[in-house]
Amino acid sequence: MSAMTRRTVLKTAIAGTASLVGCAATSRRPQPDSQREDRLEGDCVDAHVHVWTDDLERYPLAPGWKREQMNPRRFTPEDLFAVCEPVGVRRINLIQMSYYHCDNRYMLEVMRQYPGRFAGTAIIDPKSADPPGQMRQLAADGVRAFRIYPALAGGTAADWLRPAGYEAMFRAGADLNLAMSCLINPCDLPEVDRMCGRFPRTPVIIDHLCRVGINGRIEQAELDALCRMSKHPGVMVKVGAFYALGAARPPYDDLKPMIRQVVEAFGAERCMWESDSPFGIVRGSYQAALTLIRDRCPFLSRADKVRILRKTADDFFFTAG
């Protein structure tokens, strides 16, 4: 699609979300658990958002990235709040942006700037000297998960988790209750399956429905492979990035059969909603991504929706520790 300016993107997104009633946020301070145990309105959690700044002097890009590749040029927490707060999304799990690779400073600064609003998923180099030590240090700053993907340490789909650093990370994840957050395709699942078998106490999160449907078609064999991962009790799934899957057009109704199968396999208590913003804004609709789960999936009970839209992510990113 043609490039959109940051102002156009945010103006369009805000106009769309303003019409979503019944979910308006009234405050940036989270309510006590006793008041929000069964709430959806005004208290949703977005499990997957990237932020970055155009201040490249303070936060330089990692090697291989250029300013012109940043689209939008910046996406700060204030830009996010303008879109998510009108529809009642109050807390967010931030995902370290690839523009910065393993330099997590900007994400951590945003988390410090808005205490209680953000958790974090960092990136560390599994081939570095002491991955578990880095995990402990980042956990002290509010990081709850670590993003892993085949290109991070090299390798193929058949062996991408073989580097020794990953074994150390999975072991530390079990000891510290920190998740491995997997940006993967279905072909990469066998290695995750192997490691989950070796480290059953390590929380594992599969991003973006394992990108089933990224080629425009929901392949049943790929979906079945994802659902077979439900045999591991520690595996959770982010249900989102709808803008990139299947038909990739709001209201995303073609994805409902996939969502149903995933929720039935894992249980709503292991599914968490994500927008993958700002890409879900630039290329899709934040409002439509939320309402697909909240309003357009009749097979989901209210309790299911509370778990997917709030409780699963809340319990792991903001309550567990």
134 residue type, one letter: Q
CA atoms within 13 A on the CB side of 128: 13
> Could you report the per-residue pLDDT of 160-181, keeping only the tens digit for each?
999 999 999 999 999 999 999 9
45 residue type, one letter: V
Domain segments of the chain as ranges: 48-319
Contact 192, 204 (CB under 8 A): yes
Residue 40: its pLDDT value, please?
73
| Backbone torsion region of residue 295, taken as left when φ is above 0, otherwise alpha when ψ lies between -120 and 50, otherwise beta | alpha
Is this model's pTM higher than 0.75 or not? Answer: yes
Burial class (CB in 10 A: 0-12, 13-18, 19+), 63: exposed
Say which range, 21-25, 86-90, 278-282, 297-301, has the weakest mean pLDDT. 21-25
Q: How far apart are CA 126 and CA 194, in angstroms?
A: 17
| Backbone torsion region of residue 40, taken as left when φ is above 0, otherwise alpha when ψ lies between -120 and 50, otherwise beta | alpha
**Of 83 and 321, which is predicted with more confidence?**
83
Q: How far apart are CA 223 and CA 206, in angstroms?
A: 13
Using alpha carbons, select from 84, 85, 121, 116 the residue that is nearest to residue 102: 121
What CATH number has the domain spanning 48-319? Answer: 3.20.20.140
Residue 37: its pLDDT value, please?
57
Kindly indicate the confidence band of residue 321, based on its pLDDT and cuts at 50, 70 and 90: low
Burial 257-284 (b: 16+ CB within 10 A, else e): ebbebbbebbebebbbbbbbbbbbbbbb
Q: How far apart are CA 72 and CA 70, in angstroms?
A: 6
Residue 248: its pLDDT value, please?
98
> Could you report the per-residue pLDDT of 95-145, keeping only the tens digit for each?
999 999 999 999 999 999 999 999 999 999 999 999 999 999 999 999 999
- Provide the strand spans (E) within 184-270: 204-206, 235-240
Q: Average pLDDT in the 174-197 region?
A: 98
Contact 171, 238 (CB under 8 A): no
Q: Is the confidence at residue 146, as pLDDT, over 90?
A: yes
Strand partners of residue 235: 204
CA dihedral sign, ordered 299, 42, 206, 287 = positive
DSSP, res 61: P
Kindly indicate the confidence band of residue 155, based on its pLDDT and cuts at 50, 70 and 90: confident
> Could you report the per-residue pLDDT of 233-289, keeping only the tens digit for each?
999 999 999 999 999 999 999 999 999 999 999 999 999 999 999 999 999 999 999
Q: Is the confidence at residue 31, as pLDDT, over 70?
A: no
